[in-house]
Amino acid sequence: MHLSFSFYLDGIRVLAALLVFFSHLKHQTNLSLPIYSYGHQAVVVFFVLSGLVIAFSTGKKKQQVKEYFISRIARIYSVAIPAILLTIAFDTLGNSVSPLTYTEGYDANDIAAVRIPSSLLFLNELWFVSIQFFSNIPYWSLNYEVWYYIAFGVLVFSPRAYRIPLFFLVVLIAGIKIALMLPIWLMGVGVWKCISKYPLQRFWLALPVFLGSLFGIVGFFATDLTGQLLSLEVEFLGAEFVKSLAYSKWFLADWCLGVLVALHFYSMQYFTRFIRKIPDGAVYCSRVIADASFSLYLVHQPIILLLVSLLPIAKGDQYFTFTLLTLSLLSVSIFYYLTKSYPARIRTLLRKF
């Protein structure tokens, strides 16, 4: 993967994380731009991007099975465990100060003996189970992501004769909700396979792919395809069944968006090659911010709610939104600074076994 394409993907990752952040911030402020409603679609972008990056890193390093799972465990748990501890502490404090802040949708703090272990083991979204981890709504996608890592690892590292049966066994254990979004993650894998074996090398080939994906994405949002396809699902599958799919209930629209995002990434691998020189400082900053975007994604919700509980400024005040935005990003930055060394430490520890 050449530097300019990696730089571009870092930018996409940051923008997607910010979309999710603002989609939750808007519920506590007067932010009303339509783009702030696209948090779920940003997660679709994350899934495609994740599949691409994992396929690239696995192929580049020619990882063995042990190193693959050590890398994944270190990356996930280095942020997940601190995020779980932060969420418990912040929700407990926030609820004690301002219970009204934790209204329906944010008050999932009962049966902690179930919520905490299931979150640690990423069992929250198996089949038709949907266990929200306290107020941390974005944590749902991490449950999907971990099972995709397992499925991909099985598919890549298992003996050839057992790959497909073991892959479907993992999918069977994960259940229908996670399985419905798996094609989107695999689209990212497919993008990297196409880039590796069939890269776009001619302008007249890359341009139609780029324009098609760009106009397709614009049309996707302009026509509210998500709403239309959700209605179609309800008509054919029934309202109760679609509701039981929780965060996967928009799967038809998510598949469409996933294809468009995958095509866009495929075309940008060609166009980013024309960026000959990127300043070293810009590359360093992009990597740090992109790395921090995982922390932003995973801890912003409990941070926002705690700040709303503690701030002495009324929600209607003209300075409230700016103060909440600034303190939220500052808190995420501190969290990232304190945990950024954890992946390397965990990898070192696990390699001793």
The 10s digit of each residue's pLDDT in 134-191 is: 899 999 999 999 999 999 999 999 888 899 999 999 999 999 999 999 999 999 999 9
C-alpha span between 86 and 100 (Å, rounded): 20
pLDDT at 282: 87
141's CB contacts (< 8 A; 6+ apart) are 43, 46, 47, 247
CA distance 353 to 186: 31
Tokens of 312: 């002495």
Which pLDDT score is estimated for 61?
Answer: 58
Q: Please state whether 226 falls in left (phi above 0), alpha (psi between -120 and 50) or beta.
A: alpha
The answer to whether the predicted template modeling score (pTM) of the entire model surpasses 0.75 is: yes
CB-based burial label for 307 (10 Å; 0-12, 13-18, 19+): buried
Count of Cβ atoms closer than 10 Å to residue 104 Cβ: 6
| pLDDT for residue 98 | 86
Domain edges within the chain = 3-350
Helix, strand, or coil (residue 353): coil
Question: What pLDDT score does 174 carry?
Answer: 96
Q: What are phi and psi of 32, to 5 degrees?
A: -140, 10
Neighbour tally for 160: CB within 10 Å: 6
The tokens for 26 are: 């808007």
Which position has the token pair 């979004």?
Answer: 181
What does the block give as tokens for 277? 């020189």
pLDDT at 60: 67
Distance CA 5, CA 113 (A): 44
DSSP assigned state of 191: H
- What residue ranges of the chain have pLDDT lower than 70? 60-63, 104, 108
What pLDDT score does 62 carry?
Answer: 63
Is residue 327 within 8 A of residue 307, CB to CB? The reply is yes
